[in-house]
A and B are shown apart, each in its own frame.
Chain A
């Protein structure tokens, strides 16, 4: 073998390790999932939306827009009763019932824009949840253009403003047992996601930063050979674990505060232009709600740190510790991205199960759930987080009493872990 080939083989072997492969694979899976979701959204956008159409006018102009809407949608209801129409569309999974008001044609003929009333059925607050309602918006806009064209053809008016905007929308949005007048799903979704964006971001940052620091700390202890000395000090293993957890939490929170301050300023400047008064719809949190948000966040961070400590216990050195942060990063990023795209309630059952089982999801969605008084999901989430945190902290303390912390994962370690599971300590 030539010296050059020999060196190349050695380099490839050294660089192509699980430590380098796993992050690439994880990122590839993450982006593939995101790509799949975006593909799904595109597919949904290309489909004709299921709607209810009620034409209470029946005049010349209302027929123009009714025909256009019918041609571009799947009509689940075509009658005169709004409530029946809403029920039919809700059952069919559609986003809206469009009502052409009685005086539509006569209003336009009198030089006043005709009114189309849209009853939106909002499934969720995620970006992807409002795709079908956006499609309906596009169809309505197309219907307006058809109407303008007809008016030009007929020479119906010389009022250019009326020709360019011959109809106005009056909107009512139904979301989670709430009725919101004069507001569209995209506005609700935009406000809710911008209001709840900071919490998921902070949760993710705290988990990534404090988790990374605790895994790094374990790696450093191993690399610097300080762990053995620390473990022989007259201090309970539980105190060592708790001390490390608390230290990492403080560092993580400090880092998160710095990020949050910057992000808060950025978000504030964005919200300043489009914010609506959510209090008008009762979408505000009371002190108990804030307590539940804090509790959920605290338990998620505690569980994440304990999980990181467990991972860190298997680190051989600082470098290998960095690799071990990948599963935690993945667990923190998956719910963050999914929560941005979809509302928990609109996810398929498997998706809901996965999101529920990731303990970091709960503080990310707690604010929205509390706003809509979904206390059942909030309490169940907090209970699950508490169990997860108790188990991971207990497992960390237990691991700190075991040989494998010193000797690493060896033959016989599996037996020890099975023993722990059986005893359920």
Chain B
């Protein structure tokens, strides 16, 4: 069965003054896919994700998410996406539960919001600490809360920048499992990471970006085969290094 295209990025360009942060990027992501965006620092991954999330304006080209143009239909896009920035934080004077409920109320009212927040708590797995203020959380706990926030309302597209940043091995593994499981519930995932093992483990396909351009695209197996590499880290080094 041919998969439906969830994301279409066509000839995407983003400039900041004279700098072309993203320079003619094109790729598509299928529905239910976990798609990896990898590349060195400054390659344009975060800028691309921010444009997908309606945070930055597109200089030229287009991004289409489930049939909605991110520039023209921002309200529709925001209803179906969830963005987890690399350095995201939560409101420190709220408890974890209050934070999740605050976000949930953007998507549903009353009991619906409570239900969504409960799903976020399941993902965050913070136990009794969910009722403590966010300012008392460790970096890993805060990240788990934010991943819970990103996935709790079952977005059609989750854009996760450095998914497991700051998490220990056990937590990272658990979060990766949650992300994979979310695709079964219909969520499409775009993830960026500097952890090549993580990319190899969870991504169905990987786009390698360098200096704002797409330099490689394929499944982990295809890329490893193409470069005769033992793992994605070797592929990365050979393409970018």
Contact = CB atoms under 8 A, between A and B. Distances in A.
A284 to B, nearest CB: 46
Contacts of B57: 402-403
B17 A410 contact: yes
Interface in B74-103: 75, 78-79, 81-83, 85, 87-92, 103
A226 B90 contact: yes
B56 interface: yes
A225 B16 contact: no
B171 to A, nearest CB: 19
Nearest to A412: B17
Interface stretch (A15-23, A232-240, A352-360, A388-396): A232-240
B81 A232 contact: yes
Contacts of B78: 232-235
Interface residues of A, number: 18
B55 interface: yes
Contact of B85 (A228, A233, A403, A412): A228
Interface of B: 15-18, 50, 53-57, 75, 78-79, 81-83, 85, 87-92, 103, 106-107, 146, 149
A411 interface: yes
A159 interface: no
B88 A228 contact: yes
Name the residue among B18, B78, B89, B91 with the largest chain A CB count within 10 angstroms. Answer: B89
Interface in A46-96: none
B148 to A, nearest CB: 13
Contact of A407 (B16, B75, B88, B106): B16
Contacts of A403: 16, 56-57
B18 to A, nearest CB: 7
Given A225-B85, A403-B56, A411-B17, A235 B106 contact: yes
B68 to A, nearest CB: 12
Interface in A212-257: 224-226, 228-229, 231-236
Contacts of B91: 224, 226
Contacts of B82: 232
Given A235-B106, A410-B17, A224 B89 contact: yes
A225 B88 contact: yes
B16 A232 contact: no
A234 B56 CA distance: 16
- The dominant DSSP class at the B interface is loop
A234 B106 contact: yes
Contact of A225 (B50, B53, B54, B89): B89
A402 B16 CA distance: 12
B89 A226 contact: yes
A115 B47 CA distance: 85
A406 interface: yes
A232 B81 CA distance: 8
Interface in A185-236: 224-226, 228-229, 231-236
7 contacts: A228-B53, A228-B55, A231-B54, A232-B81, A403-B16, A406-B55, A406-B56
A232 B103 contact: no
Contacts of A406: 50, 55-56
B85 A229 contact: yes
Interface in A372-422: 402-403, 406-407, 410-412
Contact of A410 (B16, B92, B149): B16
Nearest to B82: A232
Contacts of B90: 224, 226
Name the residue among A225, A228, A410 with the largest chain B CB count within 10 angstroms. Answer: A228
Contacts of A225: 85, 87-89
B99 to A, nearest CB: 9
